[in-house]
Structure 1
Amino acid sequence: MQSNFDQASCAIELKHMTKAFGDFKANNDINLKIKKGQIHALLGENGAGKSTMMNVLSGLYQPTSGDVFVNGEKVAMTSSKDANNLGIGMVHQHFMLVDDFTVIENIVLGAEPTKAAGILNLKQARQKIMDLSEKYHLEIDPDAKVRDISVGMQQRVEILKLLYRDANILIFDEPTAVLTPSEITELMAIMKEMVQEGKSIILITHKLDEIKEVADECTVIRRGQIIGSVLVKNSSEQQLADMMVGREVSFKTDKTKSKPGEAVLKIENLSVKDSQKVERVKNLSFNVRAGEVLGIAGVDGNGQSELVQAISGLEKSSSGSITLDNQNITNLKVRKVTEAGLGHIPEDRQRFGLILPMTVSENIALQSYYCKPDSAHGVLKYNYMNEHARHLIEQFDIRTSSEKSETGALSGGNQQKVIIAREVERNPKLLIAANPTRGLDVGAIEYIHKRLVDQRDKGNGVLLVSFSLDEILNVSDRILVMHNGENMGIVEASRTSEQELGLMMAGTPLDKIKKSKRKVADK
């Protein structure tokens, strides 16, 4: 009787579930229980098998062996439609939306309400969607094209897709990876509200503070196998991190004091407009010196992306100049900028960093395929490329079965490692790292931070753009704060605080903050 009660109290149960791809077992003999009305976090390194497990639960994959139970009943799901019918929905790390469709068209896609003769009835759908939007505080513009809305609103659309289909078991795969701090706070509140109504949530995240904030239980998976499950309230962030990686993890980057040299990057009076001709970077000036990490802090959408794109050649500047290693690279093409000594870890790895259908080896060679030793007389030397890729796969701990694997088949974190390996290996004069640890586990974050500091210690410049203040303060030597496309001031990382940076991020220039401090001190 106790066993039946336990099973009935579970929203999801996996029994001895294995999912293999050829000889590789992405999930190996998984036993997992997700209780009803709780938030259950799933924690693991990149490539540990978390997303594979969730793809089994959402019907995208079928298990090689083992059983799946939903609400106490054994089920066999052969498609996502089967999962939807069972009340299971998943918000994927990379959103499954059609850019040219409106918000409302995306939400009803695949579950379209119809009138007689199969005529689409969007009016009926609109009412239900707007009711759900109001109930869960998921503000949307139903008639906007998806390509024209923010990332935060795109995520709301994905959540509404599930609620529109009456999902009671919701899977969130790295839901905060591309959100601003305020959007993250908003999402956490929505999750709590959902479980209070009896819904069950599986949360995949690498952010330990988020697990502590909202999760009831946490299961740790390592290399396809479950290590254990713990009650979150009884566990510290350090314990969870150590459990995930299998060793003690340091949250503080070990580095010596920087010894900066001459400026390797000079930005003078730079202005950049976006595709709508709106000025996003406004008369900005600063420099990055050899042997230092300059961090750029700011709320998302304050010109950081446009600045990085202008430096890397992806966007034209409207005025001002960019000098790299004493070469004027203003408005040069991307290859010319790269050859001048720039390495670039882009914030959108899939759009700007990788060609997903190509192999890991080919993606690693993207910056150098046209010259020796990757090619000779216009012919690619695959033997060398593959050997070089194998070396970097081992060095950067890229979890893949082969250098010939399609890059799109890798987890998001391992895709990021491919880019970082390619760019760092080139030893550029200036390395731009735009949110380089987004979606990475704590072990990988520790490693990437060390590689950025290593670049600094080799005498190269590093420009770190991040929306995480912890990351900015931990890795940077100096910090520039951007607000509304302007420079609010530059401070020494060791002599500032989150409070001071927060004021600057909100639009208060550094000189005003200093004046205010002096007035308080005088009193």
Structure 2
Amino acid sequence: MNAETPAVQLEGITKRFPGVVANHDIRITVEPGTVHAIVGENGAGKSTLMKILYGMQKPDEGTITVNGREVAFRTPSDAIDAGIGMVHQHFMLADNFTVLENIVLGAEPRKAGVVLDTARARARINQLAESHGLRVDPDRLVEDLGVGDRQRVEILKVLYRGARILILDEPTAVLVPQEVDELFENLRELTAGGLTVIFISHKLDEVLSIADAITVIRRGTTVASVNPREVTARQLAELMVGSELPTPETRESTVTDTVALRVSHLGMESDGRALLDDVSFDIHKGEILGIAGVEGNGQSELIEAIMGLRPVSGHVLLAEQDISAWSTLKRRESGIGYIPEDRHRQGLLLEASLWENRVLGHQTRRPSRSGIWINRGAAKADTKRIVKAYDVRTPGVDTLALALSGGNQQKLIVGREMSGEPKFLIAAHPTRGVDVGAQAAIWDHLREARAAGLAVLLISADLDELIGLSDTLRVIYRGRLVAGLDPSDVTPERLGGYMTGAITGTGSSPESGTEET
């Protein structure tokens, strides 16, 4: 391969599904040894295009050329054999396996064709980690790793299989700023060593920071190829969705004196380890309380405690009524809305229709229920209302949830939870993996609900979102609330310092919300 031969060239890629043209005549050229970003709104066709490049789907028209050779992948194994690896947004690791076991799974080196050659695997992993700046301990259990370390394991897993072209799907979605910086250093190490990275992201500032070239896709087709040094985030947003870059900033306070939810001395343990340690806070009507923390520090357990999904010590009060002993269903019926952190595992039945997913979690209340029966007509009518009000792009309410893009799935969930007229809403990563247009719409809905008196617990890995939307901020670290910060004067970098434990000793009382000195 000479220097002029593209690492990947897509020409005229077209893919049709019943009633939908996902890709139409897409043309992209990716130069070797570069980071090539692909951006576009949800439903623009990015995921379909990457599935085609990775052999998960076949194009109806067009050609794929890898390192100057035209290819026709039937399976991901074909793509891997051609030197292409993909790191998915949702990590595909076995928590109860070690780092080494996860990396070699399915590609195990054997002694005499039978026994796992652990020494050879460890030597290869250490060599890859050293040469590409991807620090890992091969013997650690994945369940003990933070998000940034898990991502390094995913990258090592594809490098171990010989990948020279890496597809990274939303790689910074769950990282704090310090971890993003580390990832970008790793990517620069990789490209300096001759590897090629295809970078899918909705975070335009990060795209401009890391990319050598950018391709913009809108409604299934290529609309622009730009030099990141010659374009701004605002201009990229306009190319993607035809509108300006949104901001999460909330200017006017709507916080009242009425406590909507009180969490008092919550504790949770597992195998003698404290998952939650004496967590207490109040959320008032008209208030968004943001919880910042690196994933794995107790956010999920806090949600499960409030929702009644796991046993916990302490008390949860909704509108001054102790609901600590209530079932999850009763809590839901009493006015707790829930936008879950993982829309696939916790928010949707992917094989069910949109109207059936609208009923999900609301099956005991109107309009979903009439007497003892599900009211299909009313449920379908209300789903149509949600689809229109929340701009869910779909052929119809009988469409299966799996047919929607991630952003449209998210908008359906937000619409469903807002439609239940909740007294209190848990919004866990409400804009994860959505484009700037959908992000702006979800922010607007949260702000409108807040202005109408809704109390919101916001958990997010997007620190700009947390700072911009929250009235008050708390930092959770190893199951404890370690700082209370003012969103009006904290930076993402400083907030990330508290989240990782790099800044200690200057946190505040969680009850006061003001920093100690």
Common fold: TM-score over 0.5: yes
Distance in 1 (alpha carbons) for counterparts of 2:278 and 2:435: 37
Counterpart position of 2:280: 285
What whole-Å deviation, never above 9, does each CA across 1:175-218 have from its counterpart, x for those lacking one?
12123333322211111111111111100011112112210111
Partner residue of 1:520? none
- In structure 1, what is the equivalent of residue 309 of structure 2? 314
Q: 1:152 aligns with which of 148, 155, 160?
A: 148
Q: Is the 1:431–1:463 Cα contact (8 Å) retained in structure 2?
A: yes
Aligned ranges 1:374-523 → 2 under 5 Å = 374-494=368-488, 501=495, 505=499, 506-507=503-504, 508-510=506-508, 516=517
Question: 1:44, CA displacement in angstroms?
Answer: 0.9
TM-aligned CA distance change 1:98 to 1:312, over 3 Å:
same
Maintained 8 Å contact 1:41/1:218: yes
Q: CA-to-partner distance for each residue in 1:134-187, whole Å, 9 max, x for gaps?
A: 322333343455455444333222211211111111100111212333332221
Matches within 5 A, 1:110-509: 110-116=106-112, 120-147=116-143, 149-253=145-249, 255-273=251-269, 275-318=270-313, 320-494=314-488, 501=495, 505=499, 506-507=503-504, 508-509=506-507
Give how far 1:268 is off. 2.1
- What fraction of aligned residue pairs are identical, expressed as a percent? 43
Separation in 1, partners of 2:409, 2:171? 17
Task: Give the distance between the partners of 2:111 and 2:266, measured in 1 at CA.
Answer: 56
**Is the contact between residue 49 and residue 221 of structure 1 (CA under 8 Å) also seen in structure 2?**
yes
For residue 49 of structure 1, report the CA deviation from its aligned partner.
Answer: 0.7
Deviations 1:220-257 (A, max 9, x none): 11111111010011111111112111122332546533
Counterpart code for 2:456? V
* CA distance, structure 2, for counterparts of residue 222 and residue 20 of structure 1: 16
Task: Report whether the alignment pairs 1:32 with 2:20.
Answer: no
SS at match of 2:488: helix
Classify the secondary structure of the residue corresponding to 2:474: strand
Letter in 1 for 2:82: L
Q: Within 2, Cα distance between the matches of 1:199 and 1:357?
A: 38
Structure 2 counterpart SS, 1:63 = coil
**Quick check: 2:362–2:420 contact (8 Å CA) kept in 1?**
no
CA distance in 1, matches of 2:36, 2:177: 22
| Partner Cα distance (1:462, 1:220) in 2 | 34
SS class of match (1:48):
coil
Q: Secondary structure at the match of 1:41?
A: strand
Structure 2 stretches of 5 or more lacking a match?
none
SS at match of 1:10: coil
Are the structure 2 counterparts of residues 137 and 247 from structure 1 closer, same or farther at C-alpha, using a change threshold of 3 Å? same
Aligned AA (2:360): L
More displaced stretch, 39-48 vs 137-146: 137-146
Stretches of structure 1 lacking an aligned partner (at least 5 in a row)? 517-523
Per the alignment, residue 88 of structure 2 pairs with 92
Q: Which residue of 2 aligns with 1:54?
A: 50
Q: As a proportion of its length, which structure holds more helix?
A: 1
Contact 1:297 1:465 in 2 (8 A): yes
Q: Give the Å deviation of 1:353.
A: 2.0
Provide the residue aligned with 1:519 in structure 2: none
Q: How many Å apart are 1:462 and its aligned residue?
A: 1.3
Deviation of 1:121 after TM superposition, in Å, equals: 3.5
* In structure 1, distance between residues paired with 2:399 and 2:516: 57
Distance change in 2, residues 1:5/1:165 (3 Å): closer
Instruction: Spell out, residue by residue over 1:263-305, the C-alpha distance to the aligned partner (whole angstroms, 9 max, x if none).
Output: 11112222233x3342233223221111122222334443333
Amino acid at match of 2:222: I
Relative to structure 1, is the Cα distance of residues 153 and 490 closer, same or farther in structure 2, using a 3 angstrom cutoff? closer
Asked if structure 2 preserves the Cα contact closer than 8 Å seen for 1:317 and 1:331, the reply is: no
Paired residue type of 2:201: T
Cα distance in structure 2, aligned partners of 1:234 and 1:411: 30
Give the structure-2-normalised TM-score.
Answer: 0.91
CA contact (8 A) 1:341 1:429 kept: yes
Q: CA deviation at 1:423?
A: 0.8
C-alpha separation between the residues in 1 aligned to 2:154 and 2:462? 24
Shift in CA distance, 5/129, structure 1 to aligned 2, threshold 3 Å:
closer
Change (3 A) 1:118 1:488: closer
Deviates more, 1:504-513 or 1:432-441: 504-513
> Any conservation in 1 of the 2:174–2:461 contact (CA below 8 Å)?
no
| TM-score using structure 1 length | 0.90
Question: 1: CA distance between counterparts of 2:142 and 2:326?
Answer: 31
Q: What do the CA deviations read for 1:370-422 (whole angstroms, capped 9, x no partner)?
A: 34432345433333323322221222222333323332343333332222111
Q: Identify the residue that residue 521 of structure 1 maps to in structure 2.
A: none
Instruction: State the AA in 1 paired with 2:234.
Output: Q
Give 3-state SS (helix, strand or coil) of 2:397's partner: coil
C-alpha contact (below 8 Å) 1:400/1:410 kept by paired residues? yes
Worse overlay, 56-65 or 363-372:
363-372
2:486, 2:514 within 8 Å by CA — same for their partners in 1? no
Shift of 1:261: 3.7
